[in-house]
Amino acid sequence: MAIICPSCGAENSAEHRFCLQCGAPLPKRDVISTPAAGAAETLGVATWRLILAYFGLWLLHWVFAWLSFVRDLHIDVPDGRISAISIVEGIIYLVMVGLLLRYAALLGREWPRRFPRYRQILPALTAFLWLLGLHLLYRIFPLFAYLLTPPDAADFMLIIQAVFFVLAFLIAARAALLVYAALPDLVRTAWDDMHNYVLMVENPSNSGKAT
């Protein structure tokens, strides 16, 4: 029976007292703990909830866009008209951003526990979520531009574009630098895992002893 190392998550055979991967003490067989199991369920459920929520919001947007009385409804503003469907889109985008931020926070907590050997790629995953959130948030700002005069609206959107560009660049650059610094360890870990998997397939009875 394999024992999961509570420090690095590697599998060890039952006769070992210390982890062959990181050297940490292993729990006894009668008190084996797998902290990653609960994290896996939590992260998996949260991922599916996010996917289903996005699908539901997309479906809601499609329904509102299909309703003629919503599609034809417009609100007069000093320098133009705002369609009701644009307001609905803004609300949906705002909800999507909130869901993304909540999921990003959960991912930051659970990923190192669920995948301790691949925790170095967490900055790339969270950066992707933040960039997606910025993209959705940017879609809301044109609604505010309708409340301004045309020259002011153009200046407003230009400032927003510049701010979002700087934020996106900083987020992407930080993630790229962190992942690049950890790239040798990631390649080595992936190679070791692939090697262990090959050994496990070739010798299933000795899978717990593969390192």
Per-residue pLDDT of the chain (211 residues; tens, 9 = 90+): 567 777 777 777 777 777 777 777 877 754 444 444 444 457 888 888 899 999 999 899 899 888 888 888 887 766 667 788 888 888 899 999 999 999 999 998 888 888 888 888 999 999 999 999 999 989 888 777 766 666 677 788 889 899 999 999 999 999 999 989 988 888 888 888 888 878 777 776 654 444 4
H-helix or E-strand containing 187?
A: helix 150-202
pLDDT value for 166? 96
H-helix or E-strand containing 11?
A: strand 11-12
C-alpha 10/C-alpha 2 separation (Å) is: 10
Contact 189, 118 (CB under 8 A): yes
C-alpha 50/C-alpha 136 separation (Å) is: 15
The upper half-sphere exposure of residue 139, i.e. CA atoms within 13 Å in the direction of its Cβ, equals: 17
pLDDT value for 187? 87
Cα distance between the two ends of the chain: 15
pLDDT value for 29? 58
The one-letter code for the residue type at 94 is L
pLDDT value for 31? 42
C-alpha to C-alpha distances, 121 to 95, 132, 186, nearest whole angstrom:
27, 17, 8
Q: What pairing do the DSSP bridges indicate for beta strands 11-12 and 74-77? A: unpaired
H-helix or E-strand containing 25?
A: none
C-alpha to C-alpha distances, 124 to 40, 170, 192, nearest whole angstrom:
19, 12, 22
C-alpha 55/C-alpha 176 separation (Å) is: 30
The upper half-sphere exposure of residue 188, i.e. CA atoms within 13 Å in the direction of its Cβ, equals: 7
Residue 191's φ and ψ, nearest 5 degrees, are -65, -45
